[in-house]
Structure 1
Amino acid sequence: MLADAIRSEAYRLTRNRTVLSWSLIFVPVIVLAAAIGGAFFDAKVERMADQLPPQMTDVNNVLDIGTTLISSAGQLANPALLAFLLIGAATVFAGDYRWETWRLITARNSRANLIMGKAGAVKLMTLTGLLLFVLAALIGAVAKGLILDRNLIFDFGGQEARDFALLFLLGYMRVIQFLLLSLLAATLTRSQLAALFVPLVVGVAQGLLVTATPILGWSPVDWQTLLLFPGAAYETLKAVILGGIPAAVLQEGVVWRAVTSLALWSFIPFGLSLWWFSRQDLSKE
């Protein structure tokens, strides 16, 4: 039954080409266009630099695609991706409220399965969007290498594969955590606009408030900071993966604090949405 709900929501989403274009295609296309445009600009700058003495120029003739792959995985939770994936998530989570179709489908499956089906469809959409983003960054790096006449290499051993996998998983978790706020807003307000704008407002507010934590005497790895600000937990875990946090700090359990923060900010909105939806009157929806 749950599989039926996921397939149904995924099918409905795939038929909405406008939403998919904005949620999945727009950001990767911009990333690719920016990479190619930047490469042509760099090529023009290098042509001008050719007129300078060799000792005054420092051009790296090697471009590592493996580094680009890891870098793109570390940027999966960027604001642009979060905002545009939110368009698709809000459409899935609040679409039946907007079109008043809940009463037509609640008889076909349990309410728990219907909510989990929507969440499952959004997770599949998110995975697709993140993969397209990485692919766009990869194609952009190759295009840059060709335009600038660089030697392309792919230095990607076991450590690099581990870092990429962990960064991709972490970015995926952060994006899903953010999008689940849209689910909670949709079930509480029955409004697609609220499902779209509430997570944005919460995200911006948290981004501004986290800069004030030093005034309160909180460090970036304190329980208070990590539990109140999932974005800080994400950045902490990313720094751990990339080796940017001293071993002494890691021994204080900062990883578990950050993981707990992301887990709570994911499961609590989802649990509240499930509980509220199970007792909601949908006779007019």
Structure 2
Amino acid sequence: MEHHHNSAKWHQVLAKCLAFFHGNPPAIIGGLLATIILLGALFAPAIATHDPQKRVSRPHQAPSAEYIMGTTRNGRDVFSQVLFGARKSLTVAITAGIIAMSIAVAVGVSSGYFGGKIDEWLNFITNVFLVFPQLPLLIVLAAFLGQVGSLVITVLLGVTSWPWGARVIRAQTMAIRNKEFIISAEVMGESKLRIILVEILPNLVSIVFGGFLGTVIYAMGSEAGLGILGLGDATEVSWGSMLYWAQVSSSLYTGAWWEMLVPALALAFTGGALALINMSIDQVSNPKLKTGPHLKVWKKLQKAANQRRGLA
């Protein structure tokens, strides 16, 4: 019976995920763009036409049939670089997002559910992390450590990006802490760990996933920003390092606009796709923001109400 109850809970979550795209244009557009970008990164070795680290042509060769996105100042293929760069940049951003939201969930749920001294201490730690300006702190740490690799950047971003998510999760946990189904589970003698995993977390899926996407967008932009400043490892192929080398070679001033534009558009499209999905989560989880079929129902109700007022 218990196993069936757990399965039913998570089946409901899965059904919500599948229904998420129904009548939700931002989710469909964002999901399609994100899928294309992720597939491009995943199958980069098969799609790329050249080795991204090797010189394959003359410097700053314009886009052509052979080099569809042109070449860099070092004669490297931009198309191949942007595919392999997606692998590095998305790996950093997604891993940082997982680290940040794991900490945020652990801190937020523990603080909201247990309360008391645990809530006080965890809230104090969260406030301490919120006080520090994140991006300047990252710049100072990266500058202090010298040129840092993607692993260090990932850890720095993950460890410093969790407080906002923890705050939201704490508030939501406190809101459902005294609900009947939680109290019933406690009265039945269920363990606190099981209550958290089975009763509370399924109700936080939309908030956690939305926070994860927001952190991924921020981490991706921060990684690119550190790369442009030359604080990342310029020998690694990422969108940040591509922008760094385009800046160093003054590609825009020399007319080689493609070297700067391609990684910039890759960042913009990826960030836009994730932002659309994040916005869609808000529309689904907040009834006041719902669109698609929900908007049509609302309009019908409004029309009926107006007709009643007219008859009155």
Structure-2-length-normalised TM-score: 0.27
**Bigger radius of gyration:** 2
Structure-1-length-normalised TM-score: 0.29
